[in-house]
Structure formats: structure tokens, C-alpha cells
Structure 1
Amino acid sequence: MTERVWRVGELARETGVTVRTLHHYDRLALLVPSSRTSGGHRCYTRDDVRRLHRIVALRGFGFRLEDIAAVLRAEPDQDPRELVRQELALVEDRITRATGLRDRLLDVLDGLDHAVEPSTSQFLRLIEETITMNQPLTPEEFARLTRQREEYARQLSSEELAALTKRREAAFAAMSPAERERLQAARAQMIPPGTEITGRAMPSSIPDA
């Protein structure tokens, strides 16, 4: 069976990522298409789509593009199930917050419909909840991702865990000093201020140094 190939315009239409952004990712070597047509059009495979998913997910976690590049170099073959679990936890928390904000907005709107002027405290609460909902990661989200990582590690056999650790250590050892610095910056960016890190509590999309 012939593997499906997406041209850049097709991939843009099916994912919502603009052609301009895909070109930009190519120039940065974040997402280099697996092949090109005779006319020079970029063509993407299933593996490229998976890599794009990681890039989009990490952007959603608040990573800069240069930090994403370092993460992808350090751990090119992350189990997609783990990343999806992290995304799911983030989305579920945002749904909870969005539902709370929706209910509060409905209360304010109901008051306005009945000519009841909302109090200043209500508007302050709306501002706070709106801003909070749009933050990349809260301490609670970070803690939830950490717990999921630890749970995932407990599900691995000792051989699987040893193999995973070996791959991460080899990838880190192969990095240049500049790449290691960028990776450390990526870790620091993801950790909410004041969060104490113990043991190997870093979410696995960022290898421990």
C-alpha cells in the first residue's frame, strides 16, 4: 500500500497550520518535508505529520520555537501516547476553567438583561479568570503533567525504562554546549515560578540533564 503524502497546501488545509508557517518551520529545520515534487513543492509523510503534532503541542505548552528545536533533537522518538496524555490533561483543565468563566459570564449577562449593573468585583473576577484561562501552564497543570509522567514510568518494565533512560542520556550527550543551554532554558520556561523540582519530576517531553 502506498503511503499517503500531503503537499504543503493539503497539509495546511487539513491541520489549520498556514502554508507560511510550514515554510517557516522548514527554514528553521523544525519540520523539513520528507520529499519534494519535481516542481519543488514540499511533500509530507505520516512521520512528518506526527512531528508537526509535537511542534503544535509544545507551542501550546508555551515553548519558543528554538526551545522546541532543542527538545526534538534531544528526544526525536517520543511515544505519542504520552504527549497526547499531557495535551488531554491541559485541555481538560482549560475546559473546567472555560466552563466556570462561561457560567460567570451568563450570570453577568442575566443581570444586565434585568437592568442590574454588575459590581466592580464581578468585573475584576471576569478579568482574572479570562487571563488565567489563557496562560500556557499553571502550577496545577504542571503538577498534573508531572504526576502523569510518573504514572507512565511506573507502567514500564525495568527493561523499557532502562532503554528509555539510555536513549535520553545518549541524546543529551550528543548535544553541543549551546544546545544544552537552550534545553535548560526550555525546562526553566516550562516550570511555573516557585515550583520546587525533586527527583525526576520533569515532564518527559523535556529530558532531565
Structure 2
Amino acid sequence: MHPTPESVPRLRLLVVDDEGLIRSGLTMILGSAGDIDVVASCEGAGALAAVEEHRPHVVLLDIRMPDIDGLTLLRLIRALPDPPQVAMLTTFDTDEYLGEALALGAGGFLLKDTDPDTLIRSVRALATGAGCLSPSVVRRLRGDGGHSAETQSAARAVAELSPREREVLAHMGEGLSNAEIGARMYLSVATAKDGVSNVLSKLGVANRVQAAVIAERAGLLGGARLVGPGGPDACG
């Protein structure tokens, strides 16, 4: 018996931004997707209460707001029991913001000029835990020529993994789910899930996006995309 459209679980989304026009635009775009419910939109001051009330699966969170800093809110949201996936929204793609947001547990980093189709796919990817980074952010990660301290540290971390763990990490960086990793490596989903958990633990990171950044900086991905389905260098 196939589920009816009404019985399929819908993705609950919260939009947090200090600009009403941005909130309205995102709500209109994402609300047009048949499987996404924008359960609320608000300014930063109301974000924590909105998360606790509506229990969204995904939060799109502005990184720069006058009433409360987006990174501060990210820290508070991620400290909640069973927290949602959070992607930072910004017009800026600086390494400073990227690094701090990812270190605090952000599942992605999206620019506000992301096109509507990519935005919708990105939110879906975030909900699965696959994560998402905007293409311009990926280009910045690739821009140091392999000489930064972060790149050298990533290479050392990846060198500590077994060949099979490096393969799992590469597939994580491609944005594959546990089931897809299992299919690629001829493993059960449970075994693939254990492999992902082992890689995250050995790398000392909190989520798949942080692991994918390490994989990218270590040169493990080559020409592959960095998290999120939808094509090379694409999020969502």
C-alpha cells in the first residue's frame, strides 16, 4: 500500500532573518515545494522560542542581525535537546564566518542569492543530515593552494584513517546518504552508518559537513562535489 500525499511526513522549516522582505521571499520560495512547510519565520529575538514551539527539522538562520548575533543563536539552538539542522544565511562568504559556523555545528552555509531550485534542494539535503555549502564557499575552501594550516591539519587527520574509512569519508563529501554509501561499498546500511560514525569520531568532528570540509582540504574529493546532492560544487 503506497502512502497518500497527506500521509507522507513533511519537512518543517523555520526562517530567521531580521529583514521582513527576506523572510517573505524565502517563505514564498520554500513554501512552494510540495514537501516543505514553513512553520514560522521571525527575527533573531524570537528564534529560540520558535524552535522550541514548532520543532522544525531545518532552520535557515541569518548570520548578521542587529538584535542578536546569528552565531550566538546557532550555539543556543545546537545546545537544545534533539536540535534541528541549521544552515547559516548570509550575503558574505568569508572564511571567518564559515569556520566558526561549522565549528559550532552548522549543517551548511548558504548565500542569500542562491537560486530558488537550489535553495529547495539544499533544504531537503540539510534535513537528511547530508549538509550543504554554497558553491562560492566551496571555491574559498579550495583557494589556498594546499598550503594553509587548516589544509595541512586536514591532510594529517585523513592520513590517520584506514583506506576503507577514507573511502567512506570521500562518499560523505559527495553528499551520499548512509544507504548510498552502503550501496557504493557493498555494505549494509547499518555497517555504512557505523563507518560514518567511526570516521566522525576519529576526525573529532560533530557532523558530516565538518568531515566533508576536512576531506576537501585534504584533497580527498578531487573533482567531486562537497556535500549535498545536485551536481558538482552544488549544495542541494
> Fold conserved (TM > 0.5)?
no
1 or 2 for the larger relative contact order (CA 8 Å, sep ≥6)? 1
Normalising by the residue count of structure 2, what TM-score does the alignment of the two structures yield? 0.30
Q: Give 1 or 2: higher strand fraction.
A: 2
Normalising by the residue count of structure 1, what TM-score does the alignment of the two structures yield? 0.33
